[in-house]
Structure 1
Amino acid sequence: MSLTDKAITRIRELIATGALPPGSKLPPEQELAAQLGLSRNLAREAVKALSVARVLDVRRGDGTYVTSLQPSLLLEGLGGAVELLQGDPGAVLDLMEVRRLLEPAVAALAVARISDDGLAEVGRHLDAMRAARDDIERLTVHDAAFHRAIADITGNETLIMLLEGIAGRTLRARTWRGLVDARAAGRTLAEHEAIYAALAARDAGLSHAAALLHVSNTEQWLREHLAAGGARRETAAASGSPS
């Protein structure tokens, strides 16, 4: 562990133990460095790193404060990190696998907490998907909003941000499916209709099953087409032809 990492760890420990609770102001740099037993430069670097991670808020002319430490803030960077994985087919498949584990559970949890207004919001996004059936990019955007509306119903901010960071970053793969598979739009709509119907029936088991079927179908399609693409590239390489 580098000295900067040690400084970061020590500040995080102060926060975790309650010595620096959310909203509190850190000591001046020199005093903080002495408290950490490290140089001012190392303390400064640690503060910079933790401000990027949204753990600390550096206010010019005022000082440095611990943020609210809310999930919406701390997990904000997850989507950006996931975005960097998009060029790796294996990473995209991993993300789809995580979606398959999370989204059915979210749909089932939503049933226990759903209100008429929450259901109406999901229904509005479903209507938007129907209207965008012939526009794959718009359809995919409303698809993501449909799932976000279901997550919002749970009221679990950590779960919402995890899904936002993971599911929202698979849009490119889902758009690709719609562009290369002429039947994808119809299947996607039918699967979302089933999820909505299960939510409207307030049936947790059915909601879980409908969401699982939907994400599993997308994941399976993606696995098959990525495998087929890899096979075509290997054949082209073996024959000396361009892929």
Structure 2
Amino acid sequence: MAVTDEAILKIKEMILTGELGPGDRLPPEKELSERLGLSRSSMREAVKALEVIRVLDVRRGDGTYVTSLEPRLLLEAMSFVVDLHDDSSILELFAVRRILEPAAVALATQHMTDATVSGLRAQIASVDHSTDVEGLVAHDLEFHKAIVDTAGNGYLASLIESLSSHTVRARIWRGLTQENSVDRTLAEHRGIVDALERGDADLAQALTIVHISGVEQWLRDAVS
């Protein structure tokens, strides 16, 4: 194992054991390197790496702190990688979303309330044939986010939101080129909400798979 990797793992262990928590200031570099039995140069490289992935926050003239460690913050590095993907690899993003989002919907079923269901139905009712494609896609993003957030898993929600936000161009493209996109989208959304209201996790999950797969298959046909 590289010395820098060892330093990263030791700092990670300090966070996992609770020795360092969100917002805590790390000991000075010299003190920390001596405590962990590592060189100051390897400790410095480890801190740089952990700063890049938003685990640490280096404040010049002040010190190095553990960030809030919130899911959205930690997933920014993954979002950057996703931004570098070209249009053909968007299919891979849809494939990952198709795996993760139905699982989140199934979890959300357990936490669904009358107020949440009413909110989802109100979102659907706000869209009609006068809604343009951008408005439809905005509704789609909001609708899915509301369900996934209800699952109660911040990491899963942030991951799905990051994936979903990078498929917007493909969804707008589909809306512009495919007939009855509004009717189809709203009908599929209503079916998902009906299943959620009944507490049928299996059906809600299956309908979500079909919903996401429809866009994925359309894009697959379009790029081929």
Question: TM-score under structure 2 normalisation?
Answer: 0.86
Q: CA deviation at 1:143?
A: 0.4
What aligned pairs does 1:1-243 form with structure 2 within 5 A after superposition?
3-85=3-85, 87-89=86-88, 91-128=89-126, 130-131=127-128, 134-227=131-224
Three-state SS of the structure 1 residue aligned to 2:76 is coil
AA paired with 1:204? A
Relative to 1, partners in 2 of residues 1:183 and 1:165: Cα closer, same or farther, differing over 3 Å?
same
Q: Name the CA distance, whole Å, in 1 between partners of 2:181 and 2:151.
A: 28
Three-state SS of the structure 2 residue aligned to 1:113 is coil
Relative to 1, partners in 2 of residues 1:2 and 1:138: Cα closer, same or farther, differing over 3 Å?
farther
Q: CA deviation at 1:215?
A: 1.0
Q: Name the CA distance, whole Å, in 2 between partners of 1:162 and 1:175.
A: 21
Three-state SS of the structure 1 residue aligned to 2:110 is helix
AA paired with 1:52? V
Deviations 1:29-80 (A, max 9, x none): 2222334545434433322321221211223443222223232332233323
Q: CA deviation at 1:132?
A: 6.9
Relative to 1, partners in 2 of residues 1:133 and 1:174: Cα closer, same or farther, differing over 3 Å?
farther
Question: TM-score under structure 1 normalisation?
Answer: 0.80
AA paired with 2:103? A
Deviations 1:63-103 (A, max 9, x none): 22222323233223332321221x141x2111111121122
Q: Name the CA distance, whole Å, in 2 between partners of 1:133 and 1:93.
A: 30
Does the 8 Å CA contact 1:125/1:143 hold for their aligned counterparts? Answer: no
User: Which 5+ residue runs of structure 1 have no aligned equivalent?
Assistant: 228-243
Q: Name the CA distance, whole Å, in 2 between partners of 1:132 and 1:31.
A: 65
AA paired with 2:212? V
The structure number with the bigger radius of gyration is 1
TM-align CA RMSD: 2.4
Does the 8 Å CA contact 1:50/1:56 hold for their aligned counterparts? Answer: yes
Q: Name the CA distance, whole Å, in 2 between partners of 1:132 and 1:65.
A: 51
Does the 8 Å CA contact 1:3/1:42 hold for their aligned counterparts? Answer: yes
Q: CA deviation at 1:151?
A: 0.6
Q: Looking at both structures, which has the greater relative contact order when contacts are Cα pairs under 8 Å and sequence separation is at least 6?
A: 2
Three-state SS of the structure 2 residue aligned to 1:80 is helix
User: Which 5+ residue runs of structure 2 have no aligned equivalent?
Assistant: none
Three-state SS of the structure 2 residue aligned to 1:182 is coil
Relative to 1, partners in 2 of residues 1:224 and 1:96: Cα closer, same or farther, differing over 3 Å?
same
Does the 8 Å CA contact 1:133/1:139 hold for their aligned counterparts? Answer: no
Relative to 1, partners in 2 of residues 1:208 and 1:156: Cα closer, same or farther, differing over 3 Å?
same
How many residue pairs end up in the alignment? 224
Q: CA deviation at 1:206?
A: 2.2
Three-state SS of the structure 1 residue aligned to 2:223 is helix
> Who is 1:240 aligned against?
none
Q: CA deviation at 1:133?
A: 5.4
Q: Name the CA distance, whole Å, in 1 between partners of 2:14 and 2:6.
A: 12
Deviations 1:147-170 (A, max 9, x none): 000011111111111111112211
